[in-house]
């Protein structure tokens, strides 16, 4: 019997595809959210201080030597460089960052969503929280325990309760930075506004993960954009119109070409 993939799944039934690892996805039991969030403000300041042509050493120099993020100590600057590198790679030699940086520079309103999308691909701990967040209806109050339960299911006994609590707090902050949650003491789920570039990035991440055909539009990479399959198809066609992707759709037959997103890495 063919296995179906729930809309909250970031990976198809067979697990992470080799194409995902080659693109720059990270897997395993560890993740940046044991100590940090998606660090959206710091990421924004860093990308504003650097050019699209920057190399990994340029990002490190901007953070550590130039102190573009205004950190108080050299140790905190080095740690910030490490954590941002874990979440986003900050290296044009990594395909996912090349695509991310290109879309970041073209879509100011979609940047919070682009950041959470990239971080989900790079941090297994954050990705473990996605099913809960995707399944939480807009207007519903965020609850800590279901999120903690999702993490326990993912990490098992490898993380003690105090660290788990910290991951929950950091993940809740990250989903707030992305726009999925609002409020301080009591957070509620709110609907985010997707854009053609965020849908294009979602399709790219879904394709790297191993999704194909109509599953591209029903995977969690699109669901986390609070975007129905029909709306996501409309936004994907707009992404095609503005030159981000090539797409042909006829009922359930979908042909997606992502070469325009990353001309440096032609796909067969």
Mean pLDDT, the chain, rounded, equals: 91
What pLDDT is recorded for position 63?
A: 98
Q: Which domain holds residue 220?
A: 196-257
If you average pLDDT over residues 69-76, what whole number do you get? 96
Asked whether residue 98 is domain-assigned, the answer is: yes
| Nearest by Cα to 167 from 189, 144, 188, 187 | 144
Q: Is residue 86 part of a domain?
A: yes
Name the percent of the chain in helix, strand, coil, to the closest 5.
Answer: 55, 5, 40
Q: What is the pLDDT of residues 218-236, one digit of tens each?
A: 999 999 999 888 899 999 9
Q: Is residue 138 part of a domain?
A: no
pLDDT of residue 267: 47
Residue with tokens 């979602």: 202
Closest to 94 measured CA to CA, from 62, 127, 55, 58: 55
22 in any annotated domain: no
- Give the dihedral of Cα atoms 162, 164, 168, 170; nearest 10 deg: 80
Which pLDDT value is given to residue 184? 85
pLDDT band at 155 (very low <50, low <70, confident <90, very high): confident
Q: Which of 48, 83, 107 finishes a domain?
A: 107
- Exposed/middle/buried for residue 263 (C-beta within 10 Å: 0-12, 13-18, 19+): exposed
User: Is 4 inside a domain boundary?
Assistant: no
Per-residue pLDDT tens digits for 34-64: 999 999 999 999 999 999 999 999 999 999 9
Average pLDDT over residues 1-9: 48
State if pTM tops 0.85. Answer: yes
Residue that terminates a domain, selected from 76, 107, 138: 107
- Structural domain total, the chain: 2
pLDDT score of 266: 57
Q: By CB neighbour count within 10 A (0-12 exposed, 13-18 middle, 19+ buried), where does 108 fall? A: exposed
- pLDDT for residue 268: 38
> In this structure, is residue 214 part of a structural domain?
yes
Closest CA relative to residue 116, chosen from 138, 100, 136: 100
Residue 171 counted as domain residue: no
pLDDT confidence of residue 173 = 97
Q: Does some domain include residue 82?
A: yes
Q: Per the structure block, which two tokens stand in for 193?
A: 């506004």
pLDDT above 80 (res 119)? yes
Cα 86 from chain centroid (whole Å): 12
Query: Are 188 and 139 spatial neighbours (Cβ–Cβ below 8 Å)?
Result: yes
* Domain end point (choices 65, 87, 107): 107
Nearest alpha-carbon partner for 138 in 191, 176, 192 = 191
């Amino acid at each position: 019997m063919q296995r179906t993939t729930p809309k909250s799944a970031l990976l198809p039934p067979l697990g992470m595809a080799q194409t995902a690892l080659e693109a720059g996805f990270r897997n395993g039991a560890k993740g940046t959210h044991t100590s940090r969030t998606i660090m959206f403000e710091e990421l924004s300041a860093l990308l504003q201080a650097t050019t699209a042509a920057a190399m990994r050493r340029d990002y490190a120099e901007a953070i550590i030597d130039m102190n573009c993020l205004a950190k108080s100590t050299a140790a905190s600057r080095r740690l910030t460089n490490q954590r941002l590198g874990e979440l986003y790679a900050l290296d044009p030699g990594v395909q996912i960052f090349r695509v991310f940086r290109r879309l970041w520079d073209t879509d100011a309103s979609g940047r919070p969503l682009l950041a959470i999308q990239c971080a989900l691909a790079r941090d297994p701990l954050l990705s473990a929280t996605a099913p809960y967040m995707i399944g939480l209806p807009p207007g519903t109050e965020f609850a800590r325990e279901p999120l903690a339960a999702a993490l326990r299911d993912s990490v098992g006994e490898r993380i003690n309760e105090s660290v788990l609590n910290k991951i929950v707090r950091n993940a809740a902050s990250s989903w707030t930075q992305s726009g999925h949650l609002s409020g301080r003491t009591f957070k509620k789920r709110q609907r985010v506004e997707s854009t053609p570039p965020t849908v294009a990035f979602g399709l790219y991440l879904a394709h790297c993960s191993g999704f194909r055909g109509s599953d591209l539009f029903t995977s969690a990479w699109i669901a986390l954009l609070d975007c129905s399959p029909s709306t996501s198809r409309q936004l994907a066609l707009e992404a095609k119109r503005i030159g981000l992707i090539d797409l042909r759709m006829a009922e359930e037959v979908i042909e997606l070409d992502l070469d325009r997103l990353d001309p440096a890495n032609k796909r067969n």
